[in-house]
Amino acid sequence: MAGLSGFYMGWRLFNAIVAHRAASIESPATSPTTSTSATGGQPSTSPGPAAPTPGTVTLSPAACTIYAHQAAALDKDQSAQNEATRLRARGYSAYVTYLPSSPPVYKVRVGAFADKATASAYSASLKKAGVSGFLSSVSIPATQRTWRGSDATYLAALKKAAEEAGALVPAEAGWFDAYHQKKIDREALKTRADQWKERLRAAGAGLTAAAPADLTALGSRVTEAQKAAEGAVEALSTFAGSGTNDAYGRAVAAYMKLVDAYRAVLAWDGNK
CA distance 49 to 69: 55
Average pLDDT, the chain: 82
Q: How far is CA 161 from the centre of its chain?
A: 5
Q: Are 46 and 37 in contact (CB under 8 A)?
A: no
Residue 161, pLDDT score:
95
Buried b (16+ CB within 10 A) or exposed e, 129-142: eebebebbebebee
pLDDT, average across residues 3-15: 44
Judged by DSSP in three states, 159 sits in: helix
At a CB cut-off of 8 Å and minimum separation 6, what does 167 contact? none
Q: What is the pLDDT of residues 150-184, one digit of tens each?
A: 999 999 999 999 999 999 999 999 999 999 889 99
Residue 204, pLDDT score:
83
Residue 155, pLDDT score:
94
Query: For residue 13, is pLDDT > 80?
Result: no
Provide the residue type at 36 as one letter.
T
Residue 121 CA: distances (Å) to CA of 61, 118, 127, 172: 28, 5, 10, 19
The rounded percent of the chain whose pLDDT value lies above 70 is 79
Q: What is the pLDDT of residues 109-144, one digit of tens each?
A: 999 999 999 999 999 999 999 999 999 998 998 889
Main-chain phi, psi angles of 24, to 5 degrees: -80, -25
Mean pLDDT is lowest, of 35-39, 89-93, 187-191, 266-270, for: 35-39
Residue 233 CA: distances (Å) to CA of 65, 95, 125, 168, 222: 19, 17, 27, 9, 17
CA distance 221 to 266: 9
Query: For residue 62, is pLDDT > 70?
Result: yes
Residue 257 CA: distances (Å) to CA of 92, 224, 262: 19, 10, 9
The strand pair at 64-74 and 145-149 is best described as unpaired
**In 3D, which of 168, 142, 178, 163 has the Cα closest to residue 64?**
142
**In 3D, which of 256, 261, 236, 244 has the Cα closest to residue 178?**
236
Residue 104, pLDDT score:
81
At a CB cut-off of 8 Å and minimum separation 6, what does 23 contact? none
Residue 192, pLDDT score:
93
**In 3D, which of 83, 63, 64 has the Cα closest to residue 73?**
83
Mean pLDDT is lowest, of 2-11, 93-102, 132-141, for: 2-11
Residue 170, pLDDT score:
93
